[in-house]
Amino acid sequence: MAEGILQNAAGDLFEVSSAGSNPAGYVHPKAIEALKEIGIDISQHTSKHLDQFLESGIDTVITVCDNANDSCPTFPGKVNRYHWSFEDPPKAVKDGESEMDAFRRIRDEIRKIFEAYASDYRQALK
């Protein structure tokens, strides 16, 4: 979800890619549905391992879960690192909440942070 939201908010500013330290091998169908509800199509996204990006000249790494933050390797060169901790939606269901509700709640948390990040980035360019 993070890739789709950041791509939507700032894809005109920089290239956005998503990868994990232990990728599931698929994009969760509820993530696709949750983003579709807000007009973002991630149905063609794939699950990737972060190792494929180690030599790609990345200048900014954003981690969105504590496991990824803890296991994120060192990327060569000067790399800006940011971390926002979001719960894993399938594991974050609260009492009285459906799994889809958890996906929506976390989608909205990610959206709030990434839209603010994109807005601040735009302001810095002025």
Mean pLDDT of 84-94: 92
pLDDT tens-digit map of 50-72: 888 888 888 888 888 766 656 66
The residue to which tokens 């998503």 are assigned: 18
pLDDT for 73: 62
For residue 55, count other CB atoms closer than 10 A to its CB. Answer: 9
Q: Which residues of 73-90 are buried (b: 16+ CB within 10 A; e: fewer)?
A: eebeeeeeeeeeebbebe
Q: How confident is the model at residue 104 (pLDDT cuts 50, 70, 90)?
A: very high
Q: What is the domain extent for residue 109? A: 2-125
Q: Is the Cβ–Cβ distance between 50 and 98 less than 8 Å?
A: no
pLDDT tens-digit map of 107-123: 999 999 999 999 999 99
pLDDT for 78: 80
Considering the chain, what is the average pLDDT of its residues?
A: 90
Q: What is the DSSP letter of 50?
A: G
Residue 83, H or E segment:
strand 80-83
Q: How confident is the model at residue 46 (pLDDT cuts 50, 70, 90)?
A: very high
pLDDT for 80: 87
> Among 7, 11, 13, 4, which Cα is nearest to 123's?
13
Structure token digits, residue 27: 């994009």
Q: Give percent of the chain above pLDDT 90.
A: 63
Q: How confident is the model at residue 102 (pLDDT cuts 50, 70, 90)?
A: very high
pLDDT for 4: 97
List the CATH number of the domain containing 43.
3.40.50.2300
HSE, CB side, 13 Å, CA atoms: give it for residue 15: 6
Q: Write phi, then psi, for 60 (nearest 5 degrees).
A: -140, 130
Q: How many domains does the chain have?
A: 1
